[in-house]
């Protein structure tokens, strides 16, 4: 589904990504961890077509890119990946329904179809009874659900989430993880999620964990990455 091969990226003399190789399968939820400044957001931005890499390639759903600038991967941003951010990025004055619908309209879907698809997506994330609420009338967890509905509407096969639970309390964070898993493991229409988190508990609910360290990703189990022994105690 998503394959990254030998991806490199530097900012001036700072070599952030030094040949990242990784894959995310269809229906898989992968947690990406790593120290602050290790390049997690940079990697997501290149996969999401917001930033060009220096070398290597990305293959997503039969589309290959990686070194192309943002203007050459409009289709990736429009139809291949959905984004979830820490601070939701919702429009304050629009209802949940319009927040999701406007994103679809911007990608060229006719208004009536966009509203229908928005309602389906919001129902899927459990907000079918909150369609006309504006963000201020929703809890943080519910606002993040609106953002998730916006990201999955339009049938995007991959969801990129950069610290999606960073602004949520523990219970709401766990709810978001549960929803992510349901979306990945949906039998009729599974998607793939690549999610950055600093929280080892939440990362451990993913199907697999990757650690970005010294410019490369490595498979990792949660405990060894955090220096915990089998009882969860620090070694």
Ligand X SMILES: Nc1ncnc2c1ncn2[C@@H]1O[C@H](COP(=O)(O)OP(=O)(O)OP(=O)(O)O)[C@@H](O)[C@H]1O
Which one of the spans 19-27, 35-43, 95-103, 167-175 is the region binding Mg ion (CB under 5 A)? 35-43
Q: In what order do the strands lie in the sheet with 55-60?
A: 14-24, 2-11, 55-60, 63-65
Using a 10 angstrom Cβ sphere, with 0-12 exposed, 13-18 middle and 19 or more buried, the burial of residue 213 is middle
Assess 156 for contact with ligand X (CB under 6 A): no
Q: How far is CA 112 from the centre of its chain?
A: 27
The single residue among 10, 23, 41, 167 that binds Mg ion, judged by CB under 5 A, is 41
Query: CA 91 to CA 29: how far, in whole Å?
Result: 28
Q: Among residues 50 and 120, whose Cβ is nearest to ligand X?
A: 50
The single residue among 4, 28, 29, 40 that binds ligand X, judged by CB under 6 A, is 40
Assess 42 for contact with ligand X (CB under 6 A): yes
Q: Which residue's Cβ lies closest to Mg ion?
A: 41
- 10 makes contact, choosing from ligand X, Mg ion, none, with CB < 5 to 8 Å by partner type, with none
Instruction: Report yes or no: 31 and 44 within 8 Å, Cβ to Cβ.
Output: no
Query: CA 191 to CA 169: how far, in whole Å?
Result: 25
Which one of the spans 11-19, 55-63, 66-74, 146-154 is the region binding ligand X (CB under 6 A)? 11-19
Number of residues binding to Mg ion, judged by CB under 5 A: 1
Residue with tokens 């997503």: 60
Q: Among residues 142 and 197, whose Cβ is nearest to Mg ion?
A: 197
Query: For the chain, what is the largest distance between any 2 Cα atoms, rounded to a whole number of angstroms?
Result: 58
Q: Among residues 5 and 41, whose Cβ is nearest to ligand X?
A: 41
Structure tokens at 120: 């389906």
User: Which residues inside 46-85 make contact with ligand X, applying CB under 6 A?
Assistant: none
Residues 6+ apart with CB under 8 A from 136: 92
Which one of the spans 32-40, 81-89, 125-133, 137-145 is the region binding ligand X (CB under 6 A)? 32-40
Q: To the nearest whole angstrom, how small is the minimum distance from the Cβ of residue 38 to ligand X? A: 4
Assess 167 for contact with ligand X (CB under 6 A): no
For residue 139, what are the CA distances in angstroms to 28, 90, 127, 173, 217? 28, 13, 12, 12, 35
Structure tokens at 78: 């429009």
Q: Among residues 40 and 156, whose Cβ is nearest to ligand X?
A: 40
Query: CA 22 to CA 92: how far, in whole Å?
Result: 37
Assess 220 for contact with ligand X (CB under 6 A): no
Query: CA 217 to CA 59: how far, in whole Å?
Result: 17
Assess 17 for contact with ligand X (CB under 6 A): no
Q: Among residues 67 and 78, whose Cβ is nearest to ligand X?
A: 67
Binding positions for ligand X, rule: CB under 6 A: 11, 14, 16, 34, 36-42
Binding positions for Mg ion, rule: CB under 5 A: 41
């Amino acid at each position: 589904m998503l394959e990254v091969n030998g991806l490199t990226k530097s900012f001036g003399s700072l070599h952030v990504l030094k040949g990242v190789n990784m894959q995310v399968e269809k229906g898989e939820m992968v947690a990406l961890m790593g120290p602050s400044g290790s390049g997690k957001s940079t990697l997501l931005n290149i996969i999401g077509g917001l930033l060009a890499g220096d070398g290597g390639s990305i293959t997503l759903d039969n589309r290959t890119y990686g070194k192309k600038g943002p203007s050459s991967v409009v289709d990736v941003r429009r139809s291949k990946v959905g984004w979830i951010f820490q601070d939701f990025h919702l429009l304050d004055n629009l209802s949940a329904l319009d927040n999701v619908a406007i994103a679809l309209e911007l990608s060229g879907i006719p208004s009536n179809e966009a509203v229908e698809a928005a309602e389906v997506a919001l129902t899927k994330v459990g907000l079918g009874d909150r369609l006309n609420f504006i963000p201020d009338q929703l809890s943080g967890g519910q606002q993040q659900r609106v953002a998730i509905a916006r990201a999955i509407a339009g049938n995007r096969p991959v969801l990129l989430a950069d610290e999606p639970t960073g602004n949520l309390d523990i219970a709401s964070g766990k709810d978001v993880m549960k929803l992510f898993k349901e979306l990945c493991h949906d039998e009729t229409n599974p998607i793939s999620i690549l999610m950055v988190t600093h929280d080892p508990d939440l990362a451990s609910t993913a199907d697999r964990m990757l650690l970005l360290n010294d410019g490369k990703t490595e498979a990792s189990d949660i405990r060894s990455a955090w220096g915990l022994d089998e009882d969860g105690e620090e070694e």
